Amino acid sequence: MLDVSEQIMKGTTTVGLIFKDGVVLATEMRATMGNLIASKRAKKIYKITPRIGMTTAGGVGDAQQLVRIIQVECSLYEMRRGRTMSVGAASTLLSNYLNQNRYYPYYVQLLMGGFDEGGPSVYSVDAMGGATREEEIVATGSGSPFAYGVLEDQYRPDMTEEEAKDLAIRAVRSAMRRDAGSGENIMVVVIMKDKYEESIVSGLQTPSTARQTT
């Protein structure tokens, strides 16, 4: 008998990197169920606070529930304390929640990145609640080995916003060429001290739409 992970295969590629003024998060937008492409417009980056974003890989339902939980907890924290939760604190909260459910784990691999008083940062959080602060670059999902090949070869800590965004897009595109679970368009989020900007980029062309919020 096949287990659930063998019956329903999932694939994705998510990327996070730190540049001199902020953080870039990027994902492709394909959702799969085995050999079926279930969606070509899957959202895999969610706005948690005005300056924190989270990427999702794994089970869609699990990821969406966790997004709702962490969004509510961050909003409650802000109402009670009068200030926005830091990236590290939000990652720790998420880590604690996942760890408490380790016997019935959420099937996810998450990246949380943003900008706070300590500057830009990115954390990787696994299904068992392990949280790691990434120094520069990180990728998750089935396409991550291909994305890392581009990131590790071309990343520089002093990159500008446009250079960092371009590198993240090229890393995801590289994964899309070789990983069957990754495809369609690319969602990119840039988070800096004074902005949270989302854009949708064609898998083959230049950015087509952008939306900025403050």
Specify whether 214 is catalytic: no
Cβ atoms < 10 Å from Cβ of 117: 9
Q: Please tell me the distance from the alpha carbon of residue 207 to that of residue 37, in angstroms, as a whole number.
A: 23
Closest CA to 28 of 170, 127, 125: 170
- 82 backbone φψ class: left, alpha, beta (φ>0; ψ -120 to 50): left
Give strand pairing partners of 192.
Answer: 22, 195
Q: Is the dihedral of CA 50, 54, 55, 60 positive or negative?
A: negative
Q: Please tell me the distance from the alpha carbon of residue 88 to that of residue 81, in angstroms, as a whole number.
A: 16
Q: How far apart are the first and last CA of the chain?
A: 51
Kindly list the catalytic residues: 12
